[in-house]
Amino acid sequence: MCAGDDPTCHAFEEHRRRFRRDLEPERRAFLKSGFAATGAAAAALAAGGPSLVSPALAEASGAKIAATAHYHLPANAETVHWGFFSRSLKPKVEIGSGDFVTIETLTHQASDDAERMIQGDPGAESVYLWTKDKMGVSPRGAGALDAKIGPGGGLGVHICTGPVAIRGSEPGDVLEVRILDVAPRPCANPKYKGLTFGSNAAAWWGYHYNDLITGDKPREVVTIYEVDATGERDWARAVYSFRWPGVTDPFGVSHPTIDYPGLPVDHSKTQKTFEVLKGIRVPIRPHFGTMGVAPAEADRVNTIPPSYTGGNIDNWRIGKGATLYYPVAVPGALFSVGDPHASQGDSELCGTAIECSLTGTFQFILHKKADLPGTPLEALDFPMIETREDWVLSGFSYPNYLRDLGPDAQTAIFQKSSIDLAMRDAFRKMRQFLMHAKGLTEDEAISLMSVAVDFGITQVVDGNWGVHAVVKKAIFADRAA
């Protein structure tokens, strides 16, 4: 169903007008509470509750916004990059601080069931095009263009839409990204009207892979899930599963495992198991697994390991209503988003979530370096998540692995990560946050972390493993700002 985000819809202009009308309350809330107000009102996010943006910073950043505009960035072969971030990518759209962008994103696992996730969708068809002579999008990954298994070597798998350049952003600034809406991309096949689908691959990079106790060992199993695209049903159900059959791609290369993104599965060679997970409803919590700005340390960077500029954080809390804060590393920031998920649990244990195409609406606010001293965002050097109720800090085995591990970092990170290291990083970041942003002593911060901060495993499958630390905003209700 078009919600003002499908230019191919015959009623696109009318739907877009309705969408912009419905978005006006968000715009007014932004102007009222975030960046046009002063005093106590400016300390609140448009979504409600205390914010990392202080009243003074809100006023300073808001003074630089003359007006706002709304852009639409579709997902197709001309607007996506597959498997890598890059400081050299040409922006697909350039915006000003305060502007809104509706961005379509495609899952990199749609070819697990092309009938349900690609067929009839012009954008997805253009991205997944692969014949013996041509690929719709190449390379796929940050590896060598002549890699044996395919251009880019699959060193990075996520389809990312963008980048979006923010005018005036420079290294040392902080980019605030508000997620105003997230909606499923409806299946374009008339057979499945009103539905959308996602894929979960229990793959060779999963934590479970060498610890199976039944059946053939090891094995890769893909489960296809169904989601209600109309939003009337807030849960997903499994449709069927199949054992990875091995794929020979259109270039003639054999793939006995899932070692390259976008491999076209031939279902005449699979054995589908229906009624899998019968009677189980999986609550959906749509979010973006990969979202961030371009790093400065290398020209092409694998999308799989997350780092200080964000990327593949794989935290289900990065959904509608959340706000992300990123340290800007390159001019323009170069924001990209992909790896859309219908749902995921903490740890993403088997290697993937319910990988399901989504469309998001975002607002971008630029906070200049000169305005940051004395604020909670001063010296921010990692991606921070804010929700209505929580502040969420992301710890990684290596906070900036591209810097920490030297010239072979993009290979070494996959051998060196551990939960211990990620936990240590999350602890240190939360300690710094409580001391700097909330004014606690070190002893106070350590006690509070032990009694009121929840540490959880974000993911154990992305090379640079993650632990998040969650602190409730409500516990500071009686503390002076």
pLDDT at 22: 56
Q: Which amino acid is at 402?
A: L
pLDDT at 16: 56
Tell me the CA distances in angstroms from 125 to 110, 120, 188, 208, 299, one per residue in order: 10, 7, 11, 33, 28
Helix (H) / strand (E) element for 443: namely helix 442-452
Q: 394-409 pLDDT, tens per residue?
A: 999 999 999 999 999 9
> Using omega within 30 degrees of 0 as the cis cutoff, is the peptide bond preceding 327 cis?
no
Please, how many CA atoms are within 13 Å of residue 156, restricted to the half-sphere of its CB? 28
Provide the terminal-to-terminal Cα distance of the chain, rounded to the nearest Å. Answer: 44
Q: Are 218 and 242 in contact (CB under 8 A)?
A: no
Q: Are 394 and 325 in contact (CB under 8 A)?
A: no
**Whole-structure pTM value:** 0.91
DSSP string, 295-335: -SS-SSEESSS-BTTEES---TTSBTT-EEEEE--STT--E
Please, how many CA atoms are within 13 Å of residue 217, restricted to the half-sphere of its CB? 8
- Extract the residue ranges of the chain whose pLDDT is less than 70: 1-49, 481
Q: Helices 419-436 & 442-452, crossing angle to 10 degrees?
A: 120
Beta bridge partners of 180: none
Q: 74-129 pLDDT, tens per residue?
A: 999 999 999 999 999 999 999 999 999 999 999 999 999 999 999 999 999 999 99
- CA 61, CA 96: separation in Å to the nearest integer? 12
- CA 461, CA 463: separation in Å to the nearest integer? 6
Comparing CA positions, the residue from 330, 255, 335, 318 lying closest to residue 81 is: 335
pLDDT at 20: 56
